[in-house]
Amino acid sequence: MEKFDTEIYSKKVLKTIRKYRLVENGDKIFIGLSGGKDSASAGYFISKYVKENNVKCDIIGFHIILGDFIPKDVEKTARKQAEIFGIPFKTIELKNLGIDMEKISKLPRPVCSSCGTIKRYLMNKIPREMGGNKLCTGHHADDFIVFFFKNILGGNISWISKFTPLLPGRNKSIARIRPLFFVGGNENKKFCDALKIPYIEENACPYISIKKRIDKRREKWYETVESISRWQPNFRYQMMNGIISLSSHLYSNLTEPKECKICGEPTDGEICAFCKILKEIK
């Protein structure tokens, strides 16, 4: 098996943080730690960069507890990761916000898509309300390459303007930072293994069997990206640079988000996807 070079990997991630100015003095950055390998890697490098470059900013790790159906180990692992990185850690429990995933799972819509909507909504709202100006996630090159193809196929071209290492904040949407923009999911896994950073394998959710069925095609996409990068070693790097350049051309076409008529959070329509779900379970 080919040996994994942690030095080369680290250089790629640190270069992304530096080149795209993901971290600056005065920032208050919230890192969404899911307990998985990707956000663990993102958290590790943002914390390392801030310490080594003496950047005067706040970093906070946070984890959304979806409900009792998720093993307690997931939160414990995210907490442990924050401890290793030497950053404070906060949890947000859906239960305490009156959001019942049990009820949501029974709605006639895919539970994974509702869960994604809820997480995206809270990952913007909660850090912003706590004074945060940036949200860091573990999204990586493979995610963006797959999103890219899906948006091209679906004719949703304007969405591609959001695929960049630093997406500036607009109105109530805080800025997004993606330190793993140029590295793949497999590399994140190998890095966490090499440094013995604990993480949860991606099957902690009991809805995984439903997710697996929905995601079968998604998995195929990820396998395809991995397989192309085996015979075209620079594939990810070239694709990501192409996507950045396209996204900067498209950025000016992005429409200003509106405010949801119910909760006031950003949305493209009249009522946000989160409020639509809450309405259905009432």
Contacts with ligand AMP by CB under 6 A lie at 32-34, 38-39, 62-64, 116, 119, 137-139
Tell me whether residue 116 or residue 269 sits nearer to ligand AMP (CB atom).
116
111: contact with Zn ion by CB under 5 A: no
Cβ proximity of 55 and 47 under 8 Å: no
Largest CA distance in the chain: 55
The mark string for 45-74 relative to Zn ion (x by CB under 5 A, - otherwise) is ------------------------------
Tell me whether residue 34 or residue 77 sits nearer to ligand AMP (CB atom).
34
Tell me whether residue 91 or residue 258 sits nearer to ligand AMP (CB atom).
91
What residues pair up with 61 in beta bridges, in sequence order? 31, 89
- Cα distances (Å, whole numbers) of residue 194 to 2, 6, 16: 14, 8, 21
Q: Binder to Zn ion among 187, 260, 266, 277 (CB under 5 A)? A: 260
CA quadruple 249, 124, 56, 6: dihedral sign: negative
Determine the straight-line distance between the first and last CA of the chain, rounded to whole angstroms.
53
Backbone angles phi, psi at 64, to 5 degrees: -90, 120
- Find the part of the chain contacting Zn ion (CB under 5 A) among 162-170, 195-203, 210-218, 253-261: 253-261
Tell me whether residue 20 or residue 262 sits nearer to ligand AMP (CB atom).
20
What does the alpha-carbon distance between residue 6 and residue 126 come to, in Å, rounded to a whole number? Answer: 34
What 3-state DSSP class applies to 275? Answer: helix
277: contact with Zn ion by CB under 5 A: no
Tell me whether residue 117 or residue 262 sits nearer to ligand AMP (CB atom).
117
260 binds, among Zn ion, ligand AMP, none (CB under 5 to 8 A by kind): Zn ion
**Which residues lie near Zn ion (CB under 5 A)?**
260, 262-263, 272, 275
